[in-house]
Chains A and B, each alone.
Chain A
């Protein structure tokens, strides 16, 4: 590792102060406000919240529906990952499934709710196909479907990655040793994956528990913590101290979850070396898993089908003649184009500065011997723990009177802090795998540290950088929960505009701009995949 240079210290200090100002301080203020009341400092706010029947009901509902969704997502995610890794399903089908399952990630969660209403509601597309109303979607069922669609891609990706490091040779060994199907499954699949399965459950639970978009569009008569929080902060009688209490209460399960994730990591174990093993033929297994995975992915995507159909029809579901008028009128409204440009602006800046910061932080941590550099890991852990709504409220409390209020800057900063962890870990992972002596070699050849980073390190991690930028961009495009408290009329972005359109029940507009977000993200995703692929080929 190179000696510590002054420029490293400068970058380190800049990054740490950014996190101090925009992550620690807001959270501190949030805690302080939650203990504040008219008489001074007390726990009265915490006591009074439990006298509110709605709040107790909401907490219970949130726990119940999030746990159910996490359970289903973990099982489905596991079956899909199993189908891809441990069956001899038709290969192209595997890659189609892998791509299709992450599609929901390109859409804001607030869209999910509306897609569910128009698919499974009384007049919905799927209801019409089925000929009758399947079940009541406003409440537990609707939220459950929404949360499962929302968390399944994440749960799947986690398990998919874990499966890649499971040695399938042992499946065959176990068979040869005469193990029964169950025993073999338990020892060669379940045991190596138990930690990740737990992780997938916890992650899905936290995501569901803290999401705002789905209950905002579907909740209605079924209160959950996220909608209660919104009402207390932006309802007819706003009570910021009460809001701070609910935000802290929302933080608690998230903190517990992250702690649990750390513990679960210890259950993971690593094979010495992975052998690429051909699995024995088993037609029934392949057919069964092929059917299950196709059904799951189709079921998931069918909910979104309406979004691609409704805007092109005159008055779905009553008048089904083709028309362009909704799309044209949406694009003609200067309002929406302005909001779309705002969104692109925020997402691009988030991608640019977010990648810059996450990458620098990772370099400092992995490739320098800077004192106190492990502080960056702590920062990343905190950022990972804080739900978007909690961060948004902290910003509202801290920056409400300041000149940052209602600016694009605050949206970009909020996104950067909110989505820091994943790109940071991507960069750390890539950077730690590189030869540690490059900087020293560069120095001996007379290059400055910056030069080495720019000419050697960066080009060698280009594919990771592209992936990081794409992660920041897509998440900034779809996030609702983080920014819902921070947008103003002039900085309104597409995802928050949907909330406004909901007020009028303008579903066609909602779907048109959802499609706009979807295709923008799709283009960015394909572009980044293409660039990454080209790099690996070279």
Chain B
């Protein structure tokens, strides 16, 4: 029995040492690996991975997916001490963390973007908000086809609307921007209050929540990402999108390199360029908004009422709008 124990102890020790050895060897190799943090969806992550593989960077990076709010929190709290060397993230978060920590390196390459952007990031994709409906359910319930966000606040839509929650989802912000732009804060508050009341349990923390509820036939109308609605309609299910007269607002997500002043930063910069050059052709399929010269999109992908918010999008503005959302929610 003493033998058994010694054997066990020795095996344990050997295994640990072996793993420790490989682990250490690995972590040395890992030290040179570029750590990428991204808030991107699965399609975006896949497009980035493909472009990195095609450029011969396979095995030289570790990619870590986080929610927008998690990654945003890390950027604001940690600054340059963040583990990541390269990030893709909502542009407003990149700008705010640059203002706070001056943490990003100037991009070493030129882009031919359609709109100007700061030199420390470059947009990789853009998402646009719209309303959409389940046509079958509308008919079944005898509901009129809505043309605006305000239409969804009518009492007949009670319990049949799904919207994303701005506290967790940047898609939710697109909805709030549309409401505030069109109606101002005063009457906007009443509209949002009624909308939240109508949504009830269908206030979704994920931006893709409403389209899923529409597909499942749980609600008749919702607000979410335009490209998802277009794609859903193309599969033949009874879904249609309705560009709301309040406007289709957009958010871009961008790529930026954390300035750590070492070799990894240089490698990260090369990867950023590779992603930008290589991934756009895949990204524009899933996120059909032209961002660079020479890109074209189908007519169906062009929103009817494209608009931009009057003030620049920053984290501070987001917080203001979250506040607006919360007071509308509880206000009478």
Contact = CB atoms under 8 A, between A and B. Distances in A.
Interface stretch (A61-69, A373-381, A530-538): A530-538
Interface residues of B, number: 47
Given A122-B216, A237-B76, A466-B8, A489 B20 contact: no
A348 B19 contact: yes
A78 B74 CA distance: 46
Contact of B23 (A408, A458, A465, A503): A408
Main secondary structure of the interface of B (DSSP, over half): helix
A3 B133 CA distance: 82
Contacts of A233: 73
A344 interface: yes
A458 B5 contact: yes
- 4 tightest A-B contacts by CB? A236-B69, A489-B64, A462-B5, A459-B2
B108 interface: no
Interface stretch (B9-17, B267-275, B294-302): B9-17
B237 interface: no
A481 B27 CA distance: 25
A172 B33 CA distance: 71
Given A465-B5, A469-B12, A504 B65 contact: yes
Given A220-B205, A459-B5, A503-B65, A235 B16 contact: no
A236 B12 contact: no
B83 interface: yes
Nearest to A236: B69
B42 interface: yes
A349 interface: yes
Contacts of B99: none
B84 A489 contact: yes
A465 B5 CA distance: 9
A504 B16 contact: no
Contacts of A220: 205
Interface residues of A, number: 45
Contact of B64 (A342, A492, A531): A492
A455 B5 CA distance: 11
Contacts of B8: 462, 466, 469, 531
A488 interface: yes
Main secondary structure of the interface of A (DSSP, over half): helix
A500 B64 contact: yes
Given A238-B77, A352-B12, A489-B83, A341 B5 contact: no
Interface of B: 1-2, 4-5, 8, 12-13, 15-16, 19-20, 22-23, 27, 30, 33, 35, 37, 41-42, 59, 62-70, 72-74, 76-78, 81, 83-84, 201, 203, 205, 216, 315, 318-319, 330
Residue among A334, A401, A406, A489 with the most chain B CB within 10 A? A489
B76 A504 contact: no
Given A234-B70, A345-B23, A221 B5 contact: no
Given A400-B78, A462-B8, A489-B35, 14 more contacts: A234-B74, A236-B70, A236-B72, A236-B318, A345-B19, A351-B12, A488-B35, A488-B83, A504-B42, A504-B65, A531-B4, A534-B1, A534-B4, A535-B5
17 contacts: A221-B203, A221-B205, A231-B69, A236-B68, A236-B70, A341-B19, A341-B23, A348-B12, A458-B5, A465-B5, A466-B5, A489-B37, A489-B64, A490-B27, A490-B33, A500-B64, A535-B5
Contact of A221 (B4, B35, B201, B216): B201
A181 B236 CA distance: 67
A462 B19 contact: no
Interface in A220-261: 220-221, 231, 233-238, 240
A352 B18 CA distance: 14
A125 B239 CA distance: 27
Nearest to B330: A53
A503 B59 CA distance: 23
A462 B83 contact: no
B184 to A, nearest CB: 25
Nearest to B59: A334
B16 A352 contact: yes
Contacts of B205: 220-221
Contacts of A531: 4, 8
Interface in A470-524: 488-490, 492, 500, 503-504, 506
Nearest to B67: A503
Interface string A307-346: 0000000000000000000000000001100000110110
A360 B315 CA distance: 52
A504 B78 CA distance: 25
Given A351-B12, A489-B84, A238 B4 contact: no
Nearest to A500: B65
A490 B83 contact: yes
Given A352-B12, A490-B30, A534-B4, A238 B201 contact: no
Nearest to B23: A345
B9 to A, nearest CB: 8
B257 to A, nearest CB: 16
Nearest to A138: B201
A236 B81 contact: no
A221 B81 CA distance: 33
A53 B327 CA distance: 12
Contacts of A351: 12
A238 B5 contact: no
Contacts of A341: 19, 22-23
A352 B283 CA distance: 47
Contact of B2 (A236, A401, A462, A469): A462
B66 A503 contact: yes
B83 A237 contact: no
Contacts of B83: 406, 488-490
A401 B82 CA distance: 10
A483 to B, nearest CB: 15
Given A237-B73, A462-B4, A490-B27, A504 B41 contact: yes
B62 A490 contact: yes
A348 B15 contact: yes
Contacts of B84: 489
Contacts of A53: 330
A500 B216 contact: no
Contacts of B62: 489-490
